Amino acid sequence: MIKLEEYQKKLSVGTIKPVNLIFGEEDYLVKAFLDKLRAMHPVKVVWGDELSLYDFINTFTTSGMFSTAYVLFVYNADSFFEEIKDYKAFNSYLQRLGKNKVFFYIKQKLSDKDLQKEPYATISKLGDIIVAGKLDKRKVKDLVLKKFQREGISIEESALEYLLEASSYDLMLLKGETDKLILLGKKSLTLEDIKKTVVLEQELNIFEFLDALFFRNGEKALQALDSLLRSGTPPLQVLAVLVSYSLKLLTLKEAEAKGLPLENLFSELDIKSNFQVMKFKGYLSKNTLEDLWSLVKGLYFLDISLKVFFVNPEKALKDFVVKYLLHEESAG
């Protein structure tokens, strides 16, 4: 088994084995690999849910209708594998590809136990098993930063952190957004540039909503929430993020009240980037321990009303935010 980044570094037509499997969730790496593959050899891309075993046998084996040798790249290969009833016969076809080569791509993780089953066991004997696993956040940050540096562009740390968090460190989203930021023609990017330019509305609106709520800007909080819901963000997803942030804030505030250091606790709560730490410190300064206990209790009862009494989730969430903000204003 080999990581896709390492496999791609050594890629040449001569190194490609007859049958190969790529699995993992990092679409960006797979797309970059496919682009490089296309640059060196004819490639046919097909989708597993549209590819029949008959098509595979007759089009991409030595007895097929095409004389040109191809590299066949099969997206959603798991759908194709599900249609195979006789793996023994299928395996015999795999061994008669001639000059053709195949990459099967499955966009999910596979365990060692999975790889011992057919057709993976046969593929591993005939070719390479390649992992396109999610890159860790540090690696993604480094890739984005280097992309800007290659263009002679500097970016503020807070702006970079905001861009990464807003995109959930998704390299496919980041590619589009960084390309657009580069086209601005600026030699230095600020946090304000990122906020004005990127179009990751769903993710950014969640941050805007949290900022407004925890910084006690009622009008902006309701506007951001309304924008989130109108854009199709499920109310339960908003609730889940709000609960997560509220519980983390309550944990930090209780530690702060006891005079305990917060630095290690930030890491334990998966608040690791400087941008996140800065945000949480700001939230802590604006909310008392009583505020956060009230918020967490209210969210608990809201969750029950949604999951037990099946109230309208969108209306219930809006009503909760209005009541919470009005209560805090009157308490203040």
Q: Helix 313-331 to helix 218-230 angle, to the nearest 10 degrees?
A: 170
Report residues of the chain scoring pLDDT below 70: 59-68, 199-205, 231, 309, 327-332
Between CA 140 and CA 164 the distance in angstroms is 8
Name the E strands within 49-152: 71-75, 101-106, 129-131
Are residues 155 and 186 in contact, defined by beta-carbon separation less than 8 angstroms?
Answer: no
- H-run or E-run covering 27: helix 27-40
- What gap in Å lies between CA 105 and CA 75, rounded to an integer? 5
Q: What is the predicted pLDDT for the residue at 299?
A: 92
Amino acid 67: pLDDT: 53
Closest by Cα among 230, 179, 222 to 201: 230
Backbone φ and ψ of 102, nearest 5°: -130, 140
What whole-number distance in Å separates Cα of residue 224 and Cα of residue 202? 10
Q: What pLDDT, on a 0 to 100 scale, did the predictor assign at position 199?
A: 56
pLDDT tens for residues 176-232?
888 888 888 889 999 888 877 775 544 446 788 888 899 888 888 888 888 778 767
- Do 258 and 242 touch, CB atoms closer than 8 A? no
Using the structure block, give the residue that is written with the tokens 């945000």: 279
Predicted pLDDT of residue 65: 42
Q: Show the tokens assigned to 332.
A: 């203040």
Return all residues near 189 (Cβ < 8 A) that are at least 6 apart.
Answer: 148, 153, 154, 155, 156, 159, 181
Q: Tell me the per-residue pLDDT of 142-163, one tens digit each, with 9 for 90 and over.
A: 999 999 999 999 999 989 988 8
H or E segment at 181?
A: helix 171-183
How many other CB atoms are found less than 10 A from the CB of residue 274? Answer: 11
Residue 21, burial from CB neighbour count under 10 angstroms (0-12, 13-18, 19+): buried
